[in-house]
Structure 1
Amino acid sequence: MSERLENAFFADPHVYYRRWRQQGPVHRVDFGDGLDRWIILDYDAGRAALADPRLGKDIERLGEVLARKRGGTWVNSRPSDSLRHMLNADPPAHTRLRKAVAKAFNARRVAALQPVIERTAFELLDGMAEYDQVDLLDAFAAQLPVTVICHLLDVRIADHETFREWTKALVGTLDPQAERAAAHDEMVEFLRKMLQDKRADPGDDLLSELVTDTDALLSESELVGMALLLLVAGHETTVNLIGNGTLALLRDRAWWDRLRAEPALVPAAVEEFLRFDGPVDLSTPRFTAEPITVGDTVIPAGEVVYIALAGANRDPGHFAAPDRLDPAAERTAHLGFGHGPHFCVGAPLARLEARVAFTALPQRFPELRLAVDESELRWYPNPVIRALTGLPVRLAG
């Protein structure tokens, strides 16, 4: 018997993870659509599952599993081009697709972006200083990674707010609604035109490299899917890493003040934010290609499986005092960016952006405070993305 996911889960999933973990390292859940999913909760089991080749990611085969569970067929539900990317692929396709973009996120190329990231952060903070109160997500946390990823990809979006609205629509809800579908179609059309332009006149940027890469030989649908993945995942993770991390600090002013006094602690603090309340709650879905055993539970073949990254990162069997924020603890062995072949390829960039943000924010606005009672904050009803809908702050005490 599965448990139906309640709206309260999104406000504090850890209440559920603690309760579920008492029953074992895996729990069966209905997301509200009548389909059972399996959620792996513990650190060791989750880490192993993330690298287990018996848990597949191929979008076609996952679609067939979902269709069977719904009592239908997959033939009338082919995935759109935007879903054909490395996050939804198994080897050898995944290996080929990941290799095509991995070089853009190596240590040397990411380090070269630091001046752009710092300049962008300082300009955004200057703009914030004109106001007494702002929504930190809209004014800073979203604008920083959007600007940087558009620089990396040479995407000329005149109105970053439009881009932000697209991504909010895509990740903000669980069910595909009309607003989400419209945002998806607009973004895909924008990307198709952009890729055509780069094919005709390639530049010195990642998307031009992908279009002209004769080794990877990405198809048109793979190019669209990769472009959308890079633009959305390439900034959305950092938006919520900054937002969730800032909220955690504002709940515990002592750490805000300490980071301001000791900026050398910021890299360790970023790792702790990823562990304590990271931007990804559940992994993207996998399917069992054959039965697997988790603890004392056998998950049959043809089932949908998620790994609770947030749950694993607060597993008391792996972390001491897991529900306490401690940026000085240097708890780096978290699963905030996943593990195994699908470990987040953009992790070095997200880490650098977050380090710049958490160095600059406390220095520029030492008296930053929530502008509303914390009970008024809301979280998007998305089991994968851990994201606030807004973070109103006062810049002075």
Structure 2
Amino acid sequence: MQKQAQLNRTEFEDQDDEARVQYEGFRPGMYVRVEIENVPCEFVQNFDPHYPIILGGLGNSEGNVGYVQMRLKKHRWYKKILKSRDPIIFSVGWRRFQTIPLYYIEDHNGRQRLLKYTPQHMHCGAAFWGPITPQGTGFLAIQSVSGIMPDFRIAATGVVLDLDKSIKIVKKLKLTGFPYKIFKNTSFIKGMFNSALEVAKFEGAVIRTVSGIRGQIKKALRAPEGAFRASFEDKLLMSGECLEYFYNPVTSLGEKDTWSGMRTTGQLRLTHGVRLKANKDSLYKPILRQKKHFNSLHIPKALQKALPFKNKPKTQAKAGKVPKDRRRPAVIREPHERKILALLDALSTVHSQKMKKAKEQRHLHNKEHFRARQKEEEEKLKRQKDLRKKLFRIQGQKERRNQKSSLKGAEGQLQ
């Protein structure tokens, strides 16, 4: 295309614009006047020159309405997550409309499983009833176009995958049957068994719905085949997940700041001041924790014998109590016994003084011996060093003599 445009530019460079338009069409950047017939009078009445109008066109197949599947991802700057069955405004191709999408994720077996909310940082599928759009068309979604929003953010972006094709979105169910008649606490369920004999085998069995309502299988019905009557704790609801036929084009040319369309449940609660009833189990309560009393560690005697000494429990006397070996009456000695005890104390003092002096003398002797050994080691190292110097000197003299003799021999040969 670039080469063709370059050839056209060089070929028709000298001609005027009217002739060039007849051959190569309108070039980008040229001013074109477009005349549109049968324009509604509301367009002229609500025309605002300060509000830009984009001119576009639709293909032949884009006028139909059907099921549209797309790959969608919540925008990372959007503060909330999107909820299934909440109205949202899509801008797809040349259209901008409000619809009610269902979000789903495709399992490995090809089944589309319904999601209540969009994933936080991951793509998911979305399906809605709206205008047929070619595959690969990009789109963006916004929550509202009414009023001036200071914290305006794009809600989601994605691309169209498939169109004009019915889609089956399922919930994760543990029961394959579904109710076809619902009373207060009783329901008729079909599609779970194939015959009355199978129902008879499971009479009295406990069943549970997707929403968590528990029930019990009571008795088989005559028709249809395999249907049965079951009793539940509460009244059931028809929970078939099908797409709503809701497609509302956004006509905000005359209502630029007031067009709102369908509102979400949260927006309606905020407008009418309706508050949700607080769940008592979700309210904050003071935490009262009972103090735990731990029993003292008891190690059996057989296990104490096998433990190493450092891990054995140490028996320590409690403070304030006198050990049993000290709980003896005071002994009053006789005068003769006192003299013997004083003599023994004096002898022990003399002996301890002698041992102390001997220890000091032995320490001094060891110190002197260490100094003498150190001095001998230094002299020995000095002698070894002098001997190495003499050996290296003699070896160097021999090498110099050999070099002189080799030089004399070389000079004689040269002569």
TM bracket, shorter-chain basis: under 0.3
Structure number with the higher strand fraction is 2
TM-score normalized with structure 2 length: 0.17
Asked which structure has the greater RCO (Cα within 8 Å, sep 6+), the reply is: 1
Greater C-alpha Rg = 2
TM-score normalized with structure 1 length: 0.18
Structure number with the higher helix fraction is 1
